[in-house]
């Protein structure tokens, strides 16, 4: 693959195409140690050595970040009112990053941010049934009966009931650490319907007061990340997501 030098620089987050052209004109870029002929010069990512302001600028086709989404931040690329999950990724200026799926504004936790549209599609497409696990605090006592109802597949007002989900009670109001009449649970769902977790609890007459996603497709939220913090995925984590994708695809063919 060959691409124009100004596009290479813009893809790597140096700035817009016009800013990239300006850097080239100001001699802040070299290609294989030489000043380029101009912004239109073709370069081969991975082969030609591009140096920007004295530092090597390798071409990364795809980038993958794990963010611990905080509250009051929206799962969008841009927003006129609120900070977005993309605004929090300050380490990369590339313009093609997007969040994989959505969390409500008041939901915290694991958000995958990438520019890999194929992986995103494989993780999100309806029918892929990628597991997503949430931790929640719920008003009222979550019971074994609720666990059975969730395992059957609840009617949350969609055309069809949602798929069976695994509900685990971590603590109920018998414990001392919780406010009265509340429970702590983990729930694994295989779909991503709008407000799905909250609506599943409403369907059994209970209200979610705190929600956090802790895993998606085998990728676990790093406990070291405080709300608003992020890090790059490791190679192993990227492979895990890609292999999970194959596992899910494989299951579909059965
Ligand atoms: N389910 C919800 O209700 N909200 C979320 O943000 C994610 C899943």
**Cβ 212 under 6 angstroms from ligand 1:** no
Q: With contact defined as beta carbons under 8 Å apart, do 171 and 184 qualify?
A: yes
In whole angstroms, give the CA distance from residue 105 to residue 118: 25
| Shared-domain flag, residues 149 and 179 | yes
> What is the whole-number distance in angstroms between the Cα of residue 254 and the centre of ligand 1?
30
Q: Three-state DSSP class for 117?
A: helix
Cβ(133) – ligand 1 distance below 6 Å = no
Domain shared by 31 and 87, yes or no: no
Q: Which domain holds residue 117?
A: 64-126+219-253
Q: Which atom of ligand 1 is nearest to the CA of 103?
A: 6
Task: Give me the torsion for CA of 237, 243, 249, 251, rounded to 10°.
Answer: -110
For residue 228, how far is its CA from the centre of ligand 1 (angstroms)? 18
- What's the CATH code of the domain at 95? 3.30.70.580
104 labelled catalytic: yes
Residues 177 and 159 in one domain: yes
Same-domain status, 186 and 139: yes
Q: Are residues 51 and 94 in the same domain?
A: no
- Whether residues 158 and 91 fall in one domain: no
How many angstroms separate the alpha carbon of residue 20 from the centre of ligand 1? Answer: 40
21: domain CATH number is 3.10.290.10
167 and 204: one domain? Answer: yes
User: pLDDT digit of tens for each residue in the chain (254 aa)?
Assistant: 899 999 999 989 898 899 999 999 999 999 999 999 999 999 999 999 999 999 999 998 899 999 999 999 999 999 999 999 999 999 887 888 999 999 999 999 999 999 999 999 999 988 889 999 999 999 989 999 999 999 999 999 999 999 999 999 999 865 555 556 899 999 999 999 999 999 999 999 999 999 999 999 999 999 999 999 999 999 999 999 998 756 666 664 44
Question: What burial class does residue 74 get, using C-beta atoms within 10 Å of its C-beta: 0-12 exposed, 13-18 middle, 19+ buried?
Answer: buried
DSSP letters spanning 41-63 = -EE-TTTS-EEETTEE----S--
Question: How confident is the model over 31-56, as pLDDT tens digits?
Answer: 999 999 999 999 999 999 999 999 99
**Which of 104, 172, 173, 222 is an active site residue?**
104
Identify the CA nearest to 94 among candidates 16, 20, 28.
16
Ligand 1, atom nearest to 132 Cα? 8
């Amino acid at each position: 693959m060959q691409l124009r030098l100004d596009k290479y620089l813009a893809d790597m987050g140096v700035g817009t195409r016009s800013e990239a052209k300006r850097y080239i004109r100001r001699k802040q870029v070299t290609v294989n140690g030489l000043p380029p002929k101009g912004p239109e010069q073709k370069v081969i990512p991975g082969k030609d050595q591009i140096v920007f302001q004295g530092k090597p600028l390798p071409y990364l086709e795809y980038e993958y970040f794990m963010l611990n989404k905080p509250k009051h931040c929206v799962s969008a690329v841009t927003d006129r009112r609120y900070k977005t999950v993309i605004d929090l990724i300050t380490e990369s200026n590339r313009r093609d990053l997007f969040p994989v799926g959505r969390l409500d504004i008041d939901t915290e936790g694991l958000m995958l941010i990438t520019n890999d549209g194929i992986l995103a599609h494989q993780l999100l497409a309806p029918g892929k049934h990628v597991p997503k696990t949430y931790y929640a605090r719920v008003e009222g006592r979550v019971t074994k009966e609720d666990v059975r109802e969730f395992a059957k597949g609840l009617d949350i007002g969609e055309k069809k009931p949602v798929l069976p989900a695994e509900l685990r009670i971590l603590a109920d109001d018998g414990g001392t650490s919780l406010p009265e009449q509340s429970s702590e649970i983990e729930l694994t769902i295989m779909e991503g319907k709008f407000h799905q977790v909250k609506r599943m609890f409403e369907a059994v007459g209970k209200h979610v007061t705190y929600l956090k996603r802790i895993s998606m497709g085998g990728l676990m939220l790093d406990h070291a990340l405080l709300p608003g913090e992020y890090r790059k995925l490791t190679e192993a984590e990227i492979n895990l997501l890609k292999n999970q994708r194959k596992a899910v695809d494989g299951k579909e063919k059965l």
